[in-house]
Amino acid sequence: ILSNRPIQLVEVKARGRYGAVWKALHKKDTVAVKIFPPQDKNSWLVEQDIYQLPHMQHDNILSFIGAEKHASVIEGAKNEYWLITAYHEYGSLCDYLKSNILTWDQLCHIAQSMTSGLMHLHEEIPSERSDQYKPAIAHRDFKSNNVLLKYDLTACIADFGLALVFQPGKSCGDTHGQVGTRRYMAPEVLEGAINFSRDAFLRIDMYACGLVLWELATRCTAQQGAIPDYKLPFEEEVGQHPSLEDMQECVVHKKLRPAFKDSWKSHPGLIALCDTMEECWDHDAEARLSASCVMERITWQCRQYDGTALPSLAQ
């Protein structure tokens, strides 16, 4: 058995569905340690398996350092499970947006790097050698809380505890359709009407991606006037703690989506971004854009429109 790394836990930075994320020190390096309680051992196993697949070292995927089993510090408790990754001071995109606003250029950088990570996750990379094959992976809990920001606001995707790996010729296992965070669930997930194919799961991620793009737009200085306080997608419609029934009523029956602000119409880049959002969160899953298409569009839009609104388009 390999001995564990000499890691000193410093402070809890976040608490999530699977235990807590700590800022920690490994020798002189700052790292993040996600600690799973015994009942979530399976999520710990899933995450480390995904991080260790070929080609998962990518600028826009959180960097994996290692996985360890530790005796719990609580008397009489069983083992706890550690996942050690790179540490990013800014934390999640969700946390960052609560206390910061973005220029158009910053929005572009975050959106491009985030969709680049999602595109890489979704992509199947064939290989000359069997050990270098990277299967397509669906995240299944994509949201601003699971996108981390590096020091230069480059986004990287984290939290693969619910992810599904699509190995050719194998079924995707014992899969429950209704997983993820209610607020970000696509209509077909809320309805329990998923077609259990690879593309269906990738399209569910793209619906959530549209919502995260909306979150970025709400905090961008390219809009005219005052920038509103940060709100989660659908917070205005269903509040902070929606039930499954609340989300079904809102998204499936009323077909509501987060509202676009009039103040966005003064900036051609934001107008173009709204079109992209609409095509990500289309009610018809098959009409949604792929991650590679969203990434290409955002790259083009960011080149097309710099941080200044064009006076001819101001309302």
Give dist(CA 222, CA 178) in Å, integer. Answer: 37
Indicate whether 73 and 128 sit together in one domain: no
As a whole number, the mean pLDDT across the chain is 90
* pLDDT above 80: residue 1: no
Residue-wise DSSP of 280-291: HS-SSGGGSPPH
SS3 140: coil
Q: Calculate ∠ Cα 88-89-95, nearest 5°.
A: 100
**CA distances (Å), 165 to each of 120, 139, 172, 288, in order?**
13, 9, 7, 21
In a domain, 1, yes or no: no
CATH number for position 63 = 3.30.200.20
- pLDDT value of position 107: 97
Indicate whether 108 and 246 sit together in one domain: yes
* pLDDT above 60: residue 315: no
**CA distances (Å), 304 to each of 45, 186, 200, in order?**
43, 30, 32
Task: Say what angle helices 104-122 and 268-280 make with each other, to 10 degrees.
Answer: 30
In a domain, 299, yes or no: yes
Indicate whether 63 and 98 sit together in one domain: no
Confidence band of 193 (pLDDT split at 50, 70, 90): confident
| Domain's final residue, options 65, 86, 107 | 86
Indicate whether 70 and 103 sit together in one domain: no
Is 19 in contact with 34 (CB distance < 8 Å)?
yes
- pLDDT value of position 169: 78
Q: Where do runs of H (alpha helix) occur along the chain?
A: 41-51, 93-99, 104-122, 187-190, 198-218, 235-238, 244-247, 268-280, 291-304
67-86 tens-digit pLDDT: 999 887 655 567 889 999 99
Q: Calculate ∠ Cα 190-195-214, nearest 5°.
A: 50
Which backbone phi and psi does 63 adopt, to 5 degrees?
Answer: -80, 125
Query: Per this entry, what is the length of the chain?
Result: 315
272-297 tens-digit pLDDT: 999 999 999 999 999 999 999 999 99
Domain that holds residue 201: 93-313
Q: Quote the number of domains for the chain.
A: 2
Rg of the chain over all Cα atoms, to the nearest angstrom? 20
96-135 tens-digit pLDDT: 999 999 999 999 999 999 999 999 999 999 887 667 899 9
Whether 141 sits among the annotated catalytic residues: the reply is: yes
Indicate whether 142 and 18 sit together in one domain: no
Indicate whether 153 and 217 sit together in one domain: yes
Indicate whether 55 and 115 sit together in one domain: no
40, 141, 159, 205: which one is catalytic? 141
| Domain's final residue, options 86, 109, 137 | 86
| Domain's final residue, options 30, 53, 86 | 86
Confidence band of 250 (pLDDT split at 50, 70, 90): very high
Indicate whether 57 and 107 sit together in one domain: no
Confidence band of 196 (pLDDT split at 50, 70, 90): confident
Indicate whether 35 and 67 sit together in one domain: yes
Confidence band of 312 (pLDDT split at 50, 70, 90): very low
